[in-house]
Structure 1
Amino acid sequence: MLRSVRRRRPLRHAVLATVVLATPATLAAAPAAPAAQAPPPRPAGIGDPLFPHLGNPGYDVLGYDIALTYRGRNDTPLAARTEITARATDRLPRLNLDFTHGTVRDVTVNGRPAAHARAGEDLVVTPARTLYPGEPVRIAVRHTSDPRGGGGGWIRTRDGLAMANQADAAHRVFPGNDHPADKARFTFRVTAPKDLTVVANGVRLARERAGARTTWTYRTAHPMATELAQVSIGRSAVLRGKGPHGLPLRHVVPERDRRSARPVVDRTPAQIAWMERYVGRYPLESYGVLSVDAPLNFALETQTLSVFGRDFLRAAAKYPKRAEGVFVHELAHQWFGNSVTPRRWSDLWLNEGHATWYEALFTDERHDRGSLVRRMRSAYEQSDGWRKDGGPPAAPRRPTAGGQLELFRPVVYDGSALVLYALRQEIGATAFGKLERTWVTRHRDGTAGTADFVALASEVAGRDLEDFLHAWLYDERTPPMPGHPGWKPAKPAR
């Protein structure tokens, strides 16, 4: 992300998954739990240290099918239906979904009406009978999706809507298991006035016009975390192209920017080819830039679409060398954060550190030779202060209530890229390159955490790097930089 465009990370930060059906004998053998035994409705969570109420235990989501109806006004709630296909992993007399900021009309579980209640930012659902481990779970929720108010989720643009769900705002748009540890495939069915264009993650399957409205259907080919979901509705032009290996490219820009944006987005194939030199083939089904007509002060990776404000793309047309590193930053997230997703939010350094690293490396190679070392030395000098303010890279301090932006401090950007620079200094560029390619290949389409990265680094290097990386990732003070004995951290301000 561009340094002058401060990445805002907490904004910046029918659902149906097919599973094995239970047999009648299985259902008959499963005793129904008396209603009196069900616990009272209460918020749940999977225990993430930074967002303890995000995610829900007891089931694994396999797929989302989200239908939205947009009637042409972005200050009015959208009618919505979310169908979730999952598999129970625990005994479930009740189950929780993360959902707030919308009205729920009704809920069914496996086709039967289910009671529902609100508890905090959870929707607590009581199915007609208790669910048991291994059973399929099909949850359908009819609700509204409200673009009004702050807190993330929908962005109201001048001509429609787009999404910015990171880190904890997807459940302001649709009900689900809103934690990156539970990835799933998504289908979006969006109905909008026929003069508007709708894009979403993945590949378009259909566009069907009925009178004054058009319904657009998109589906992802790879599993995705809820915070990476994207639907854009507006007066947009879709600029198409081809990337390396015939990769489909689709860039979505305001209609009036169709010509001016073309030179900017036409740099994308070369940026992808540059990334592939270092980490291997692009891991998803398509890619593109999404320019939204809103005054954004951040850039954001959503899966297959990187989000930028219209003003940033206009500035990029005038000053391409300054902006290109930001495009590479968001592109790098398609490998680091999207394809390989953090298991916990404290693993965020793996996303932002890598994206910042490749941003800096690209700028050094293409536009400003020597800038990588200068940037890392500057980061080293400030690192102790960043750790004091926000915690070390792999143990960031928990945001205060409503202060999600606090999670996206400098320590997870340049402070975490500094960890990768130190590791490359320690094991050498060849081993570091092998580590990076192995990381995104071994964990493709999955989740992985800090311990996984440390273990793989040791494996690739052929020696135990636990102590070395623990100091860089968890210590309050920045360790000495290998190969640069003259580098000294500045004293943190009192």
Structure 2
Amino acid sequence: MLLTRPTRPHPARRFLRRPKAALLASAVTVCLVAAGAPAEPLGVGDRIFPDLGNPGYDVAAYDLAFTYPGSNDKPLRAVTTIEARITSSLKRINLDFAHGTVESVEVDGREADFTGAGEDLVVTPDHALPLGSLTRITVRHTSDPVAAEDQDGGWVRTTDGLAMANQADAAHLVFPCNDHPSDKAMFTFHVTAPNGYTAVANGLPTGAVKAGDSTTWSYRSQHPMATELAQVSIGRSAVVHREGPHGLPLRDVVPAADKQELEPWLAKTPDQISWMEKKIGPYPFETYGVLMAQASTGFELETQTLSLFEKDIFTEPAYPKWYIESVMVHELSHQWFGDSVSPRTWSDVWLNEGHATWYEALYAEEKADRPLEARMKAAYGASDRWRAAGGPPARPKPPAPGQKIGIFRPNIYDGAALVLFALRQEIGDAAFERLEKVWVQENRDTSVGTADFVRLASAIGGRDLTGFFQDWLYAEKTPAMPGHPDWKQVPPPAPSDSAERKS
């Protein structure tokens, strides 16, 4: 994710909504729960989002089917099918889900009881699920873009349809899931929309079947994916195909009416991929492209194989050309850092954003003469203030109530890139470049954490770097910059009279 404009705070989330019919259908659930332990929300204990993710199972695959009604202010009908391996014997299964009406749940083809608890959908099958078994959970539900839009995440309503923006904790506003990046899975999508719309999703297309006045579009990923990276776009769109390096299929999705105007930007992607491959190795997925949505989000987002951009950043004259290209490279970099190699916890998000900011800045240096060192010196001057406001890079402060976007603060962008700059100063250019390549190659398609990066950096750097990283990632104050003892913290400017009057 890259913030390009301020975003609005969002109100507290609303709980799972269910109609009277569903409440009656689950009356047995209430009795069963009352007879035993009450249903309660669970989580994997993430320091930032402790209630997200669920223990006891590992998702292997999601199959998501959405039916778009032709208007983005009405709920979509949906069926979510989850294939999972049970890692602890379970009598109940908790799924993360909010902002939808659950109509029915089946476990292994048999009807199951269900109820809501916080932002969890708690499912009670008619049989216990033993350790090591494989299970299939099918949830028929609605997915509500109007309810989700207040959250700055989940469904994003565009001028001609919908797109998804699930980072960090919003996938469960769209579909039932294990909403944590530590549990990556394969994804299949089926999106039915009225003729005249185009539906796209992560991965490669597997077919488009027209039936009467609607078409069902299907896509499948070839690599596991975190729920926060899922993307479905429905709109009056044009899909532009071209070939990238080594025959990589590229597809971009743009408003059909703006295809010609946006083409010069789309044509830049192959060279940007080639530039990244020279830095860190082969592109990690089966396809890539940009999705230019007619929406106002305040950010751009690295959804896997299809990065989400606001169309307006490409048409707004105030943005210089070099800046727009560097934003494109930021999201492209995430395909390696954050998508292929995902964070194990949300405290590890500095690994995503620090690396994407690093390559964004390096690209601007090489292509637009915007010196990386000058940017890092400026970041160093502000680093102590960033740490005080948002926490050190690898221990960000949890978001305040109503401020979900709060984890995406300066210290996990330029502040985290500053850590990488210090590391390069510490171990040298050659070791740093090798570290970057080995990191993405050895950890492809996995979720890893800060400790893993520290171990690999120590091995490649030839010495124990635990103390170095402890200071740079967790200390309240920024350490001295190796090789630049003259760099100092810069106090914030004194507020002007006009600023004081506005405050």
Pick the TM interval, shorter chain.
over 0.9
Q: In structure 2, the residue corresponding to 1:179 is in which secondary structure? A: coil
Q: In structure 2, the residue corresponding to 1:315 is in which secondary structure? A: coil
Q: Give the Cα separation in 2 of the matches to 1:318 and 1:364.
A: 17
Q: In structure 2, what residue type is equivalent to 1:121?
A: E
Q: Give the Cα separation in 1 of the matches to 2:69 and 2:403.
A: 32
Deviations 1:354-405 (A, max 9, x none): 0000000000011015x21110000000000000000000000111223111
Q: Would the aligned equivalents of 2:2 and 2:301 in 1 still touch at CA under 8 Å?
A: no
Q: Would the aligned equivalents of 1:8 and 1:408 in 2 still touch at CA under 8 Å?
A: no
Q: Give the Cα separation in 2 of the matches to 1:323 and 1:212.
A: 39
Q: Give the Cα separation in 2 of the matches to 1:224 and 1:8.
A: 28
Match of 1:377 in 2: 377
Q: Would the aligned equivalents of 1:117 and 1:125 in 2 still touch at CA under 8 Å?
A: yes
Deviation at 1:2, TM superposition (A): 6.5
CA separation of 1:318/1:425 partners in 2, compared to 1, >3 Å: closer, same or farther?
A: closer
Q: Would the aligned equivalents of 1:90 and 1:132 in 2 still touch at CA under 8 Å?
A: yes
Q: Would the aligned equivalents of 1:260 and 1:317 in 2 still touch at CA under 8 Å?
A: no
Q: In structure 2, what residue type is equivalent to 1:348?
A: V
Q: In structure 2, what residue type is equivalent to 1:425?
A: Q
Note if 1:83 corresponds to 2:86: no
In the TM superposition, what are the counterparts of 1:31-430 in structure 2 within 5 Å?
A: 38-149=36-147, 150-151=150-151, 152-315=153-316, 319-369=320-370, 371-430=371-430
Q: Would the aligned equivalents of 2:67 and 2:77 in 1 still touch at CA under 8 Å?
A: yes
Deviation at 1:247, TM superposition (A): 0.6
Q: Would the aligned equivalents of 1:68 and 1:189 in 2 still touch at CA under 8 Å?
A: yes
Q: In structure 2, the residue corresponding to 1:453 is in which secondary structure? A: helix
Deviation at 1:295, TM superposition (A): 2.2
Q: Give the Cα separation in 2 of the matches to 1:432 and 1:380.
A: 20
User: Unpaired runs of 5+ in structure 2?
Assistant: 11-31, 495-503
Deviation at 1:478, TM superposition (A): 0.2
Let me know the Cα RMSD of the aligned residues: 1.9
Q: In structure 2, the residue corresponding to 1:171 is in which secondary structure? A: helix
Q: Would the aligned equivalents of 2:107 and 2:137 in 1 still touch at CA under 8 Å?
A: yes
CA separation of 1:272/1:317 partners in 2, compared to 1, >3 Å: closer, same or farther?
A: farther
Q: Would the aligned equivalents of 1:263 and 1:317 in 2 still touch at CA under 8 Å?
A: no
Q: In structure 1, the residue corresponding to 2:137 is in which secondary structure? A: strand
Q: In structure 2, what residue type is equivalent to 1:113?
A: E
Deviations 1:181-208 (A, max 9, x none): 0000000001000100000000000100
Q: Would the aligned equivalents of 2:76 and 2:144 in 1 still touch at CA under 8 Å?
A: yes
Q: Give the Cα separation in 2 of the matches to 1:355 and 1:379.
A: 15
Q: Give the Cα separation in 2 of the matches to 1:303 and 1:344.
A: 18
CA separation of 1:38/1:225 partners in 2, compared to 1, >3 Å: closer, same or farther?
A: farther
Deviation at 1:315, TM superposition (A): 3.2
Q: Give the Cα separation in 2 of the matches to 1:56 and 1:297.
A: 30
CA separation of 1:174/1:130 partners in 2, compared to 1, >3 Å: closer, same or farther?
A: same
Match of 1:27 in 2: none
Q: Would the aligned equivalents of 2:103 and 2:140 in 1 still touch at CA under 8 Å?
A: yes
Q: Would the aligned equivalents of 2:3 and 2:298 in 1 still touch at CA under 8 Å?
A: no
User: Unpaired runs of 5+ in structure 1?
Assistant: 11-33
CA separation of 1:375/1:171 partners in 2, compared to 1, >3 Å: closer, same or farther?
A: same
Q: Give the Cα separation in 2 of the matches to 1:3 and 1:178.
A: 22
Q: Give the Cα separation in 2 of the matches to 1:115 and 1:466.
A: 49
Q: Give the Cα separation in 2 of the matches to 1:454 and 1:124.
A: 38
Q: Give the Cα separation in 1 of the matches to 2:36 and 2:407.
A: 36
Q: Give the Cα separation in 2 of the matches to 1:208 and 1:365.
A: 46
Q: Would the aligned equivalents of 1:385 and 1:493 in 2 still touch at CA under 8 Å?
A: no
Q: Would the aligned equivalents of 1:9 and 1:166 in 2 still touch at CA under 8 Å?
A: no
Q: Give the Cα separation in 2 of the matches to 1:169 and 1:299.
A: 15
Q: Give the Cα separation in 1 of the matches to 2:133 and 2:399.
A: 36
Q: Give the Cα separation in 2 of the matches to 1:179 and 1:38.
A: 28
Q: In structure 2, what residue type is equivalent to 1:422?
A: A
Q: Would the aligned equivalents of 1:435 and 1:460 in 2 still touch at CA under 8 Å?
A: yes
Q: Give the Cα separation in 2 of the matches to 1:96 and 1:316.
A: 48
In the TM superposition, what are the counterparts of 1:443-482 in structure 2 within 5 Å?
A: 443-482=443-482
Deviation at 1:51, TM superposition (A): 0.2
Deviations 1:77-126 (A, max 9, x none): 00000000001000101110000000000001011110000000000000
Q: Would the aligned equivalents of 1:38 and 1:94 in 2 still touch at CA under 8 Å?
A: no
Q: Give the Cα separation in 1 of the matches to 2:53 and 2:298.
A: 28
Q: Give the Cα separation in 1 of the matches to 2:173 and 2:33.
A: 29
Q: Would the aligned equivalents of 2:33 and 2:39 in 1 still touch at CA under 8 Å?
A: no
CA separation of 1:137/1:443 partners in 2, compared to 1, >3 Å: closer, same or farther?
A: same
Q: Give the Cα separation in 2 of the matches to 1:97 and 1:364.
A: 45
Q: Give the Cα separation in 1 of the matches to 2:462 and 2:81.
A: 47
Q: In structure 2, what residue type is equivalent to 1:174?
A: F
CA separation of 1:376/1:87 partners in 2, compared to 1, >3 Å: closer, same or farther?
A: same
Q: In structure 2, the residue corresponding to 1:65 is in which secondary structure? A: strand
Q: Give the Cα separation in 2 of the matches to 1:296 and 1:77.
A: 20
Q: In structure 1, what residue type is equivalent to 2:481?
A: M
Q: Would the aligned equivalents of 2:9 and 2:403 in 1 still touch at CA under 8 Å?
A: no
Q: Would the aligned equivalents of 2:208 and 2:218 in 1 still touch at CA under 8 Å?
A: yes
Q: Would the aligned equivalents of 1:183 and 1:446 in 2 still touch at CA under 8 Å?
A: yes
Moved more, 64-73 or 307-316: 307-316
Deviation at 1:462, TM superposition (A): 1.1
- May I ask how many residue pairs the two structures share in their alignment? 470
Tell me the TM-score normalized by structure 1.
0.92
Q: Give the Cα separation in 2 of the matches to 1:121 and 1:8.
A: 22
Q: Give the Cα separation in 2 of the matches to 1:401 and 1:202.
A: 35
Q: Give the Cα separation in 1 of the matches to 2:427 and 2:73.
A: 54
Deviations 1:114-145 (A, max 9, x none): 00000000000001111111011100000000
Tell me the TM-score normalized by structure 2.
0.91
Deviation at 1:317, TM superposition (A): 11
